[in-house]
Amino acid sequence: MKKITRRGIVKAALYGGAGLVVGGLGYHLINAFTGKDYDHSRREKVLESIAESDNPEELPNIVIILTDDLGYGDLSCYGSSAVSTPNLDKMASSGVRMTSFYASAPVCTPSRAGLLTGRYPIRSHMNDALLTTWSLMGIGHRLLGYCDYGIPEDEILLSEMLKRRGYKTALIGKWHLGDYAPHLPNDRGFDFFYGAQRSNDIKPFAIYRNREIEVPAPADQEVLTTHYTKEAIDFIDQNRKNPFFLYFAHTFPHIPLHASDRFRGKSKGGLYGDTVEEIDWSVGELLKALKRFGLDRKTVVFFTSDNGPWYQGSPGGIRGRKRFVFEGGFRVPMIARWPGVIPGGTFSDEMSMNFDLFATSLQLAGVEVPSDRIIDGRNILPLLQGKAPSPHETLYFYWRKKLWAVRHRNWKYHRRHEVGDINPYPWPHNERRGPYLFNLETDPNESYSMTDTYPEVARQLATMMDEWESAVKRNIRGWE
């Protein structure tokens, strides 16, 4: 019998550990690259069914202004005393301000996927931020199944549908849904693109004009908002006689923070506040341009954020931040303005989510939502006009591939999970807590769990989550 030595034990442990690592990687590879249920033919069939408008002059222009990591409490019309946003305040006074509007994810990429597809990001396999394709972290994210190489080709984007309808389309700013063909903005329905393909904290920072690459010096980031604004207004000017869709996705206030000399050091909110005040200026310039070109009453403008604030910024007194499933990670400002159609000076606490902008925009363009797949978003124009309640009684909150929470009317239920905001020490000291049940009408800060007081409500919402999750797993892509 062979003698067992310490060296042999160590060797066996190393081989065993290596085997586990290889086996784990193999499992994740299989999980990451199989079972995605892709069907590229679906997209073309839907797009081919869309007819160009016979009366394009009657179509409204659509502008979606999306900020990056802007908090619910970062605008003065949402309660900020550190950041002054007179142009957005004016926009709110001439439109509607939403107070229970949610991003579809607490981080960049999936939230943008939800907005442009009208679907929960889990359906498009966009579950976390896309990183540089061949970076170690980018490869790691794909191995873990958090995301794919880019927005799947069988997903249909708002830009593609509006382009088929006869709209001129442009993306100004940050894309973050793929950094090589066929996942680039010009591949996905945008006639014109000027901006960044992914998060601007990845160096070197590159600005793309359609497919031509420019790499400015880092200091150029200080005038990014100025450049974006000029390009946006130029696009509007050049297409004033056509219906147009402008998706204006600001890079800031995502880190690293930069502001031009005109705004740097001027706010009471530090450099973060400076970037927000410059965005406010940009919104004012865009609205003035619409009026100057005679398009004010023909254009609906939506302003919102992709998720809650990150290292800086204010969630507005509600719990959580970016990457949290508490309200501060998902609840974001949203202002909608359309003179003559949306009443001015109003607000609504009815809940909705950014994927509703997909269905709403298609309704305005006279296009049916795709019938070959589940569309989670709904037309919220009647809500914005104060004519109807929310089309949603229930909204689900995903982070990465997991379903963490559900809101049903005023109740919000969290499954048991790690609560990183109650312990100053890093993992593994942050313990799993919950489940939680909060009444958002009386406790918008999610401070007082009511699971013991209303156990039947907690059970009902837990069952709703289980049933929803099972249905999604049976048909992850939501094909009809």
Q: Which residues are catalytic?
A: 108, 176
Do 225 and 250 contact (CB within 8 A), yes or no? yes
Do 244 and 235 contact (CB within 8 A), yes or no? yes
Do 323 and 404 contact (CB within 8 A), yes or no? no
Q: How many Cβ atoms from other residues are within 10 Å of residue 134's Cβ?
A: 9
Do 304 and 333 contact (CB within 8 A), yes or no? yes
Upstream peptide bond of 428 is cis (omega within 30 degrees of 0): yes
Q: Where are the beta strands (DSSP E) in 409-450?
A: 411-414, 417-418, 432-433, 436-439
The secondary element (H helix, E strand) that includes residue 474 is helix 455-474
Which residues contact residue 86 at a Cβ distance below 8 angstroms, ignoring those fewer than 6 apart? 76, 280, 284
Do 90 and 337 contact (CB within 8 A), yes or no? no
| Residue in 187, 169, 209 with CA at minimum distance from that of residue 63 | 169
Torsion of CA 28, 326, 306, 65, to 10 degrees: 160
Q: Three-state DSSP class for 30?
A: helix
DSSP string, 270-334: HHHHHHHHHHHHHHHHHHHHHHHTT-GGGEEEEEEESS---SSS--TTSS--TT-SSHHHHB--E
**Both tokens of residue 178?**
């793929």
